Every structure is written in C-alpha cells, then in structure tokens.
Amino acid sequence: MYNSDIPTRAELPTTKQLLRSTGIAIVSAAAILVTVVLPAEYNIDPTGLGKAFGLAEMGEIKQQLAEEAERDRLMDEQPQPATPAPDQQSSLLGQIFSGLFISSAHAQEAPATRSDTMSITLKPGEGTEVKLTMVKGAQVNFTWAVEGGVVNFDLHGDGGGNEISYEKGRAVPGAEGTLTAGFDGNHGWFWRNRGKADVTLTLKTEGAYTDIKRMM
C-alpha cells in the first residue's frame, strides 16, 4: 500500500506568498484585459499596444459589423403600413383606380433608354445615396466599382408608400447586374465607406429611367 508524504508546515506556502501569487495573477489578468481583450473586442486601446500588434483593427472591424447589423435590424423593424379603416376604403379605391390610369399612361410613355457614369469620393465613415427614377417593370443594367478600398451597400427602392430592399452587402469592392423596378418610384444604392482611407466609387448605368440623382 502506497502512503503519500504529507507536507510539513514549513513546506506549505505562507499567507504572504499566497497574497503575492494572487496579486501577480490579478495584475497579469488586468494587463491582458487592457492590452489584448479591449483592443481586439471593443477597439479600446489605452496603451497603444493593440494598434502595434494589429488587435485594434480587429476590434474596429467587429464594432463596424455590429453597427451595420444594428442598422439592418432597425430597418427590418420599421412598422408596416396600417390596414385602412372602413371609412377610408372609398378614398383608397379612388386612389387605386387613379393609380391604374397613371400606370397605364406610364406604360404607354415608357422612358427612352439612357446611360450615365457617376464618380463619387467617400471619406472614412461617409455615406451617400444615388437613386434612379423608374416605372414599374423598367430595367437598368448597372456596374459599380470601388478604387482604394471596399464599401457596405444597400440596393433598395421607395415610392408611392412602397419600400423594398433588393440586395445588401458588406466590405464589397464592386457589383454588377440588372435592376428591375418593383413599382413606380426611386430605385438605387446606399454606400458607406467603413475603411480608414478615402475611396472613389464609379457607377455606370444604362436602361429605362428618366432621372439619376445623388440624394446625399
């Protein structure tokens, strides 16, 4: 049978040694928190070491993604149009018939094909929006590219009480495709530069739209 040796009182750590070890552990944990965890998770870098080791950039990216996710959440939670009350139905029917006649007129007077090229420079954190005036069913071929970095974007439309989001993206260098208007109104892009340097965005459009304008 094996009998383990019981340490003597002299071999046990003293209270002073235990307090010293505890103090060292607390100081080490605080140092790791300040130099590693805060820069990497929250982009908080009081010592500057996070930037030197590339941890601050990681934290900044995480914070940017969190901000964009919150913005998307708020957009998704926007209240939907309320159902009209019975006493409003007659006026609503009038608007529907009026809209049908207007839509027919739009169909008969479809805009001619046009093309445009627009270049926009965005500073770090800056956003902009470009909209095309289109009728329902109209199509526009587009391509846009970013020089000097990447951007977040939201391709969407609004008009006549309607709203739609066609596509979203984060940290994208460019895109191309065909935009088909889901209804009469303004359809286009919102871009934001989340990088640390200026970027230049070039948009090219060709198709059936009557106007192109930078909203902001």
Whole-number Å distance between alpha carbons of 67 and 59 = 12
CATH of 112-214, one of 3.10.20.440, 3.40.50.1980, 3.40.640.10, 2.60.120.380: 2.60.120.380
Regarding predicted confidence, which is higher, 65 or 141? 141
Residue 154 has pLDDT above 50, yes or no: yes
59 or 33, greater pLDDT: 33
pLDDT category at 159 given cuts 50, 70, 90 is very high
User: Per-domain residue ranges for the chain?
Assistant: 15-76, 112-214
For 187-201, how does the pLDDT look when each residue is reduced to its tens digit (9 = 90+)?
Answer: 999 999 999 999 999
Per-residue pLDDT at 125: 94
pLDDT in tens, 11-37: 667 788 778 888 888 888 777 877 777
CA distance 20 to 65: 42
